Amino acid sequence: MTQTRLDLARIRQARHVVDPVFLNTPLYRCEALEPVLGCAVSIKLETANPVRSFKGRGTELVASLLAGSAAPAAVCASAGNLGQALAWSGRTRGIDITVVAPRRAARVKLDRIRSLGARLELVDGDHEVARERAAAIARHEGIRLVEDSLDIETCEGAATIGLELVRSTPTFDTVLIALGGGALATGVGHVVRALAPGMEVVCVQPHGAPAMTLSWHARRVITTDSADTIADGVAGRRPIPAVLDDLLLVADDAVLVQEASITAGMRLLLDHAGLVVEPSAALGIAAILEDRDRFAGRHIVTIVCGSNIDMDAYRRLVGTSGVRI
Amino acid sequence: MTQTRLDLARIRQARHVVDPVFLNTPLYRCEALEPVLGCAVSIKLETANPVRSFKGRGTELVASLLAGSAAPAAVCASAGNLGQALAWSGRTRGIDITVVAPRRAARVKLDRIRSLGARLELVDGDHEVARERAAAIARHEGIRLVEDSLDIETCEGAATIGLELVRSTPTFDTVLIALGGGALATGVGHVVRALAPGMEVVCVQPHGAPAMTLSWHARRVITTDSADTIADGVAGRRPIPAVLDDLLLVADDAVLVQEASITAGMRLLLDHAGLVVEPSAALGIAAILEDRDRFAGRHIVTIVCGSNIDMDAYRRLVGTSGVRI
């Protein structure tokens, strides 16, 4: 394949830099899900760590590079997971961290960012507004701007998940990856393309925030005026051109799913796998629910990428009685 | 210390026999729990595997020993977790498995045992009745009886968790271990005593099923007439003398907790850690809730040993609104 921005040697090296608490996460077949989904399903669980999402893999790389500088500091825009992970990695290394988040972000994520000692600035508006504000802070203060999916560390950190997937036995037919800014999809996709070329790479995004998927199909950047989805972790509107270029090289497909399917996926993961997940982490299951025929009889692995969700919202979404679908 | 029945060299060797899907489970600090609990809390998570409990570590040892024999077969009594794990390990190796369970065991556990291809026999009565029936089947059919906590493989399999705890940095002041038959407590306790003697080993059992704790304090076997607790995984009435002897050598304390504290622990793990757990897995948190002063300022690790619970029962116990304690 034509080269993406990612580099396999650097990704392998990243495993020696990232705190082991984020590595070698559980990967296991979840047979209780299979009668409902009609295919073999394995789960790569990225929630059982101090920040409850995969983002620590990337922020560990960012922070380790910054740690050597004088008065190290960084700022990022985040719906919450990147900010929490950057705050964690920064605290460990004495790095001053600022996180810019939409005011309506999940309270649990904002509380954790504060608890981890980061400076939190809330903005009115969505993730794109937060990105602009973070960039302004970086320019004004002369500090590092961490841009999710654009910054190679965020992609190559996520790519370490790919190394763990491709060494698994048995192998998988398809990996389903939540698609937002693209760090997770390009990271994992790059490794799968290079080391397990027979494995299909399918990205999944909500209909309510479809910009990157529309761009992938059009092979050019398409922005949207708004994003409206419960999956706050993937709610971008303006794909980054360099990330789209990478995604075009590594993804076999990108599909959109309905909000109701995301909620149904969350319920299934609770009822049959005992897993609390945030909406973004249920996108893979949602994709299977919407197209059982496509995945029938195959062995699918889906990355359960985060579990940061306000419990009130969770209870509202997933329901309080014994829901069966 | 005087010798327990366990052997450190065999426990180390067990790591090469047990399927890796059960090993090197997540171990991480969970700071969001700490303001409520008043101490540093780390979690050793034994739920993210194909059988959703730690029991696979032991059944893998049992099954690997049986696999070499002609027409291998085994029977066990189980409230569900051991049976499910034995069924899983047996299926992998072509071993004929029978599980005897109380009729009122958690439906999800019984369903999974059947799905994994084991023969399931239900008995009226509690775990002790199931133990008697399993022993009768073993005698009648001339097959291996797997006795949880008595059979050394079940203890040494659980003990591999101890190896993973003691190599952690930073070290822990106290490990809180759910106490039922004693496999988990003697297994982990043996390794901690041998390799991290400064770490306190505290066992936790429900007031409603206190036989082993009463026995530990009395230094002789005390049986009870009944067991009444939501923590079905630890609801025994007749401690095994050899296991009590081991426990006397490795435990620093054994405490009893109220049912309400177990439920509160389950809620805390859901609300602040995003973890669905069965009642037995919340015993450690319950112990902290009942004696915050004892653990104040210490670094506690608790083993979240299983997540097999009927979701209807879970919703009933943990509540449906945003509960705060």
Kindly state the percentage of chain B with pLDDT values over 70.
Answer: 98
**E runs forming strands in chain B:** 27-29, 40-45, 73-77, 96-102, 119-123, 144-146, 174-178, 200-206, 253-257, 299-304
Kindly state the percentage of chain B with pLDDT values over 90.
Answer: 88
Q: DSSP for B186-249?
A: HHHHHHHHHH-TTSEEEEEEETTS-HHHHHHHHTS----S----S-GGG--SS--HHHHHHHHH
pLDDT at A121 over 60: yes
Decide if A26 and B26 are in contact by the 8 Å CB cutoff.
yes
Residue of chain A with shortest Cα separation from B114: A32
* Best residue of B22, B33, B46, B47 to probe chain A, by most A CBs closer than 10 Å: B47
Residue of chain B with shortest Cα separation from A42: B50
Q: Average pLDDT for residues B21-38, to the nearest whole number?
A: 97
pLDDT in tens, A147-180: 999 999 999 999 999 999 999 988 999 999 999 9
A307 CA: distance to closest CA in chain B (Å): 7
> Domain spans of chain B?
8-53+152-318, 56-146
Give the rounded distance of the alpha carbon of B128 from its chain centre. 17
Contact residues, chain B, for A271 at CB < 8 Å:
311
Say yes or no: do domains A8-52+152-318 and A56-146 share a fold.
yes
Residue of chain B with shortest Cα separation from A277: B274
* Best residue of B115, B275, B324 to probe chain A, by most A CBs closer than 10 Å: B275
Decide if B112 and A322 are in contact by the 8 Å CB cutoff.
no
B219's tokens: 């230094």
Choose among B50, B275, B309: nearest Cβ to A28.
Answer: B50
The B-side interface with A (CB below 8 A) comprises 21, 24-32, 43, 45, 47-50, 52, 112, 115-116, 270-271, 274-276, 307-309, 311-312, 315, 320-322
Q: Which amino acid is at B234?
A: V
Choose among A26, A307, A322: nearest Cβ to B49.
Answer: A26
DSSP state of A219: T
Distance between CA A222 and CA A205 in Å, rounded? 14
pLDDT band at B127 (very low <50, low <70, confident <90, very high): confident
What CATH class is the domain A8-52+152-318?
alpha beta
The A-side interface with B (CB below 8 A) comprises 21, 24-32, 43, 45, 47-50, 52, 112, 115-116, 270-271, 274-276, 307-309, 311-312, 315, 320-322
Distance between CA B157 and CA B134 in Å, rounded? 21
* Coil/strand/helix, residue B68: coil
Average pLDDT for chain B:
95
pLDDT band at A2 (very low <50, low <70, confident <90, very high): low
pLDDT at A320 over 70: no
Choose among A52, A112, A315: nearest Cβ to B322.
Answer: A315
A201 CA: distance to closest CA in chain B (Å): 24
> How buried is A258 (Cβ within 10 angstroms: 0-12 exposed, 13-18 middle, 19+ buried)?
middle
pLDDT at B1 over 60: no
Count contacts between A and B (CB, < 8 Å).
Answer: 73
- Would you say domain B56-146 falls under CATH 3.40.50.300? no
**C-alpha dihedral sign at B103, B104, B105, B109:** positive
Decide if A48 and B45 are in contact by the 8 Å CB cutoff.
yes
pLDDT at A291 over 60: yes
**C-alpha dihedral sign at B109, B113, B114, B119:** negative
Choose among B26, B45, B312: nearest Cβ to A322.
Answer: B312
**E runs forming strands in B129-248:** 144-146, 174-178, 200-206
Q: Average pLDDT for residues A76-91, to the nearest whole number?
A: 96
Choose among A32, A116, A270: nearest Cβ to B276.
Answer: A270
Peptide bond into B26 cis (omega under 30): no
Largest CA distance in chain A: 56
Choose among A112, A116, A320: nearest Cβ to B320.
Answer: A320
Task: State the complex-level ipTM.
Answer: 0.95
* Best residue of A44, A49, A309 to probe chain B, by most B CBs closer than 10 Å: A49
What would the CATH number be for the domain defined by B8-53+152-318? 3.40.50.1100
Decide if A115 and B49 are in contact by the 8 Å CB cutoff.
no
Strands across the sheet containing B200-206: B27-29, B40-45, B299-304, B174-178, B200-206, B253-257
Decide if B271 and A311 are in contact by the 8 Å CB cutoff.
yes
Choose among A29, A43, A49: nearest Cβ to B28.
Answer: A49
A116 CA: distance to closest CA in chain B (Å): 9
* Coil/strand/helix, residue B176: strand
pLDDT in tens, B196-244: 999 999 999 999 999 999 999 999 999 999 889 999 889 889 999 999 9
Residue A76, strand partner residues: A99, A146
- At A324 the pLDDT is 41
Choose among A43, A50, A321: nearest Cβ to B29.
Answer: A50
Average pLDDT for chain A:
95
